[in-house]
């Protein structure tokens, strides 16, 4: 859809933007036009249409209100310009409000750019869409006239939309029918040619867009701030399940891995006994009441059991190491003491003699 545009063009810019430079052009009710950075339905916007009774010769730049009011609307009814500010190209030749306008009431709308909102949950972020080179965008449109109870004739128009282009789908599923060259504008204004050929998404790569302030969502908000690019804060989306994940189970797996790595120097038999003890401890832990957390069980029982078993198994090896690494001086002292402790025997007495 297209429900907000920017139009700051001058009156003489409209014929050039719509490639209407060869035929004579006249201005009608152009004094009602007020350039704005934030144009919404109900605003007076200049449109380019064919001169009455002419075919490809002579055009009129006429100021009309955006938001179609069909001519068959009751004269006493209050006009609502938000009901039909867009017309879907897929059903434009089926609905009575638009079908009767196709032969002679086609027109062109030239703007600087338009706004579209990107939905992100409950939030909506507006983007400004424009041509990269700054030239005006030209939309296909239909117009009608309606007379109220006071005899005043009101001219209104609606912008034709189509499905989004491949590059635009991420932002919205609809976009205005953009007529990018003279041939397409000629085709749309000509009542003799088939309009279906131009009712398609604009697939060229010269469209650009960027985020703007959400404040421009209010029609009363106008000024250069409407098209000033802003920086969007990107926050990482953390699934709510992360807040309820079992941290103990992750720590448990990590600790088991660290145990295996740290105890590699231990003998194979000791490692096997240690792993069996750990498995037994885990089986017993599963049977315990759920009141104790997994992280507490891992810290309190397996680590203590493991420490005791390692300390116990390590004592013999430490003793052997002490014997091997004993001081040589202490060895001599022990040998001397052992010799002094020997008592003379009867055989040694007779042997001497």
Token couple for 298: 């891992």
Q: CA 79, CA 90: separation in Å to the nearest integer?
A: 25
Question: Which of 274, 55, 265, 29 has the alpha carbon at shortest distance from 156?
Answer: 29
Residue pointed to by tokens 């719509």 = 18
Ranges of H-type helices in the chain: 13-17, 96-99, 182-189, 247-262, 268-286, 294-300, 302-324, 328-340, 346-352
The answer to whether 294 and 248 are in contact (CB under 8 A) is yes
DSSP string for residues in 140-164: EEEEEEEE-TTS-EEEEEEEEEEEP
Query: How far does the chain reach from its first CA to its final CA, in angstroms?
Result: 132
DSSP state for residue 178 in the 8-state scheme: B
Burial of residue 121, with CB atoms counted within 10 A of its CB: 0-12 exposed, 13-18 middle, 19 or more buried: exposed
Is 116 annotated as catalytic?
yes
Is 77 annotated as catalytic?
no
Q: Which of 2, 7, 18, 107 is catalytic?
A: 2
Q: Which of 7, 63, 107, 116 is catalytic?
A: 116
Task: Kindly list the distances between the CA atom of residue 110 and the CA atoms of 17, 78, 100, 159, in Å, as whole numbers in the listed order.
Answer: 7, 28, 23, 11
Token couple for 102: 């196709």
Provide the sign of the torsion angle of the four alpha carbons 136, 139, 67, 2, taken in this order: negative
Which residues are identified as catalytic?
2, 116
């Amino acid at each position: 859809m297209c429900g907000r545009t920017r139009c700051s063009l001058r009156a003489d810019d409209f014929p050039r933007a719509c490639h209407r430079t060869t035929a004579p052009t006249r201005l009608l009710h152009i004094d009602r036009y007020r350039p704005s950075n934030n144009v919404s339905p109900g605003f007076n916007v200049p449109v380019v249409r064919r001169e009455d009774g002419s075919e490809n010769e002579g055009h009129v730049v006429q100021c009309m209100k955006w938001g179609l009011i069909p001519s068959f609307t009751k004269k006493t009814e209050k006009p609502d310009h938000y009901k039909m500010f867009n017309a879907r190209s897929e059903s434009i030749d089926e609905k009575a409000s638009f079908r009767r306008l196709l032969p002679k009431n086609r027109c062109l709308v030239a703007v600087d750019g338009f706004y579209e909102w990107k939905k992100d949950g409950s939030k909506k972020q507006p983007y400004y869409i424009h041509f990269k080179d700054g030239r005006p965008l030209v939309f296909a449109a239909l117009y009608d006239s309606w007379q109220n109870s006071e005899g005043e004739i009101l001219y209104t128009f609606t912008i034709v939309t189509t499905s989004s282009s491949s590059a635009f789908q991420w932002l919205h599923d609809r976009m205005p029918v953009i007529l990018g060259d003279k041939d397409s504008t000629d085709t749309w204004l000509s009542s003799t040619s088939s309009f279906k050929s131009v009712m398609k998404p604009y697939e060229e790569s010269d469209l650009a867009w960027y985020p703007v302030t959400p404040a421009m969502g209010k029609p009363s908000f106008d000024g250069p701030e409407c098209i000033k690019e802003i920086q969007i804060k990107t926050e990482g989306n953390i699934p709510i399940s992360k807040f309820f994940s079992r941290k103990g189970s992750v720590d448990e797996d990590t600790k088991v891995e660290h145990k295996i790595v740290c105890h590699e120097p231990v003998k194979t038999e000791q490692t096997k006994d240690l792993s069996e003890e750990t498995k037994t401890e885990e089986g017993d832990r599963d049977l315990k009441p759920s009141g104790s957390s997994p992280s507490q069980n891992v810290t309190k029982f397996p680590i203590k059991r493991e420490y005791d078993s390692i300390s116990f198994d390590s004592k013999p090896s430490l003793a052997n190491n002490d014997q091997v690494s004993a001081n040589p001086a202490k060895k001599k002292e022990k040998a001397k003491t052992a010799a002094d402790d020997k008592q003379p025997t009867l055989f040694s007495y007779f042997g001497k003699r």
